[in-house]
Amino acid sequence: MTVHPPSRLHRLLPGLTALLGAFLLFQVQPLIGKFILPWFGGSPGVWTTCMLFFQVVLFAGYAYAHGLTRLPPRWQGLLHGLLILCALALLPITPDESWKPADGADPVPRILALLAVSVGLPYFVLSSTAPLVQVWFTRATGGAKPWRLYALSNFGSLLALLSYPFFFEPRWEVPAQAGLWSGAFVVFALLVFLSLWRDQRQAGTVSALEDKTPPELAHRVLWLLLPALACVLLLAATNHVCQNVAVIPFLWVVPLALYLLSFIFCFEHERWYLHRPVLWAVPALLLALIACVAAPLEKNALWIALGSHLHAWIPALPEKLSLAPNYLWQLAVAFGSLFFACMLCHGELARLRPGPARLTEFYLCIAGGGALGGIVVSLAAPHLLITFAEWPGGLIAAAVLASWVIARGMKRLRPAFLLPAAAAIISMLVLGFTSEPRILRVRNFYGIMSVEEGWDSGLRMKYRRFIHGSITHGMQNQGSPLHTVPVTYYSHQTGIGRALESVRYANARVGVIGLGAGTAACYAHLGHTFRFYEIDPDVERIATNEFTFLGDAEERGAQIDIVIADGRLALEREEPQNFDVLILDAFSGDSVPAHLLTLEAWHIYLRHLKPDGIVVVQISNQYLYLAPVVEKIAAHLGLGTTRIITKAKGDDYATDQVIVTRDAAFLRAHPPTPLPLADAEREKRMNPPVWTDRRHDLFQVLDLH
């Protein structure tokens, strides 16, 4: 059968279908995350679990596409058309609220089941259509190479990833976003049906795509292992920077964008990687080495001294550019090593790509590798490891790959190169897995927690500090009588301290969302009831076994209750608690639970508060200005506010806390702390709207100055 010369529409059709399909494929991920992130405490683990689900479904979609292409073209069109109609019948994709967790059980199975029911089939259709469009393109053109369509698909994914937080999220509420996505999916379905119709006309050219020579087994193994390594590095870098470097919300956007960018470069044209692999491998090796040894190096006294003198030697150097421990320096190293390592992995994949006849098998192996990497980081590592060891492990594997690429491309210098490369990799093995001594480490869905014990030479006593990622969640001096004195964010001068000091009367009731080490219990006395809400059961075990704040309060005659659940969801189910004080202490880290600051959440809080009760919001955060959000909601509800800011002194940390109450006498007794002019102007410019469950945006109050 003669191949018909493609019309203009048919030349554009594969590109439009691939671009829109990839856009929807990645747009649905943050959209569905917007729905479920608040239900599971806002943890980065929610995102990595979603990534695991999408990678596994992507693999299933590619497997379906691979099997479908083995059928006659007429059956291919019929089956895939029916699948698209079933997906259309399930629109719109909004998860039911019955999926909200009711206890502190492991949330991973529930998240996976929720995603499967709400978005599984549409996502399966989108993922399976991507390789099918390329197969249809090769048939329509008599065997033309489809790799630019693959690069175009990755561009569509990147566009979706970057446009959601900066364009779609600020402009539309979540239901409207789901409606827009559903409408675009209908357009996508029409494009696919046009592609199917075009493919039926080319049914006689199937033989032109046959390839009876199977690829080598080694190639198939590399098709699996190279994308697995890239995925491990992607997820490990996300966990590493979100938990240990800079606690900035949505920092997962950057590594995923770099990951997709490497796909685009490697498959768009051979000039990007295949003509000069060594130029990518050298910086990949160097950056992997630096990233792997950065943590122990930053604590080296000589390195710190060198960094402190750098600006004296180079006066023109920007203030934030330093060799000393600095989040910008660490982010640059982490993201740089991730990008160059992904360029190696995806570049070698591009070098090993097969002919068009093996297209779906190739994509099936890539998707399988991605799913394997997701399983390693999201499922295996949290249960088998107590640190983020997959990050240095992935860097070492990338260094081995880079060394192999360099040795392959520099045959004359190979003997002189291999010895220093081996020494560098051994150094990475020794230093990369070095960790600070801690008396306890725990890793679970919510991150890594540890307890550190040290010696305070000024007080001449031991202390213990509870650390979650890089954020301190409580500290206790071990000697009497200081072991009952509240420190860190809870000292008597803070907003929390002032609010709790005002309810020293008998039968006072206090609610606290966020347990930490249990420091708030220092204010509990005979007849008081302190009710803590904590989403992570391991936090309760640490607070109970490693610190004595809770036990000391019970010895003084206070009643201590601990509810293991998301604070808002638990309060939503409970009868009114009649709290005198409610403390919201969940906003200091990277996983900021925005659902605790929406208008609907405040209606729940007020239902549990006495008429003159006090709500204290701990908003101390290096990158987010949450005060305008709290003050805007308070004004909307007709409540008064005061803002208490304290400076660091000894064991008392710098704090920023907003107090919301109807108690005019309390507000007069505690006037707000004056803000520096620059901060006041910055917050005034932000002017966020009243946050609701359907519309809230952390980027509105994000500042990286």
Burial group, residue 606, by CB count within 10 angstroms (0-12, 13-18, 19+): middle
Lowest mean pLDDT segment, chosen from 304-308, 365-369, 396-400, 412-416: 304-308
pLDDT band at 3 (very low <50, low <70, confident <90, very high): very low
Axis crossing angle, helix 147-163 with helix 253-268, rounded to the nearest 10: 160
Is residue 256 domain-shared with residue 124, that is, in the same domain? Answer: no
Query: Which residue range is the domain that position 305 belongs to?
Result: 217-435
Element (H, E) at 406: helix 390-409
Identify the sign of the CA torsion 124, 86, 186, 6. positive
* C-beta neighbour count of 605 within 10 angstroms: 21
Strand pairing partners for 617? 584, 658
> What's the CA gap between 518 and 562, in Å, rounded?
10
Is residue 670 domain-shared with residue 574, that is, in the same domain? Answer: yes
Nearest by Cα to 108 from 166, 168, 36: 36
pLDDT score for 468: 85
- Domain contains 407: yes
Query: How big is the chain, counted in residues?
Result: 705
Would you say residue 206 has pLDDT above 50?
no
Would you say residue 570 has pLDDT above 80?
yes
pLDDT, tens digit, for every residue of 390-436? 888 899 899 889 988 888 877 666 666 666 777 677 766 666 666 66
- Domain contains 474: no
- The strand pair at 579-584 and 471-477 is best described as unpaired
Is residue 347 domain-shared with residue 370, that is, in the same domain? Answer: yes
The CATH number that applies at residue 640 is 3.40.50.150
Distance of CA 621 to the CA centre of its chain: 18
Q: Which two tokens stand for residue 567?
A: 């604070």
Torsion, CA 234, CA 293, CA 43, CA 495, rounded to 10: -150
Is residue 162 domain-shared with residue 303, that is, in the same domain? Answer: no
Would you say residue 625 has pLDDT above 50?
yes
- Domain contains 455: no
> What's the CA gap between 512 and 590, in Å, rounded?
20
In sequence order, what DSSP letters do the residues of 582-644 get, joined into one string?
Answer: EEE---SSSS--GGGGSHHHHHHHHHTEEEEEEEEEE---SSB--HHHHHHHHHHTT-EEEEE
**Terminal-to-terminal C-alpha distance of the chain:** 65
Which of 207, 228, 263 terminates a domain? The answer is 207
Would you say residue 332 has pLDDT above 80?
yes
Total domains present in the chain:
3
Is residue 280 domain-shared with residue 170, that is, in the same domain? Answer: no
b or e along 266-291 (b: 16 or more beta carbons within 10 Å of the residue's beta carbon)?
A: bbbeeebbeeebeebbbbbbbbbbbb
Is residue 184 domain-shared with residue 221, that is, in the same domain? Answer: no
Which one is predicted more confidently, 512 or 92? 512
pLDDT score for 58: 86
pLDDT, tens digit, for every residue of 504-519? 888 999 999 999 999 9
Which of 165, 186, 207 terminates a domain? The answer is 207
The CATH number that applies at residue 163 is 1.20.1250
- Domain contains 605: yes
Q: Which contacts (CB < 8 Å, 24+ apart) does range 178-182 have?
A: 178/31, 178/92, 178/93, 178/94, 179/92, 181/24, 181/27, 181/28, 181/31, 181/92, 181/93, 182/91, 182/92, 182/93
Is residue 47 domain-shared with residue 120, that is, in the same domain? Answer: yes
- Domain contains 685: yes
Is residue 305 domain-shared with residue 420, that is, in the same domain? Answer: yes
pLDDT score for 417: 64
Would you say residue 336 has pLDDT above 80?
yes
Which of 412, 435, 458 terminates a domain? The answer is 435
CA–CA distances in Å: residue 560 to residues 509, 532, 602:
10, 8, 24
- Domain contains 105: yes
Are 568 and 604 a contacting pair, CB within 8 Å? yes
Would you say residue 272 has pLDDT above 70?
yes
- Domain contains 90: yes
Is residue 233 domain-shared with residue 202, that is, in the same domain? Answer: no
Is residue 589 domain-shared with residue 652, that is, in the same domain? Answer: yes
pLDDT, tens digit, for every residue of 104-132? 667 788 888 888 888 889 999 898 887 88
Placement of tokens 């390594």 in the chain: 229
pTM, two decimals, is: 0.77
Is residue 515 domain-shared with residue 644, that is, in the same domain? Answer: yes
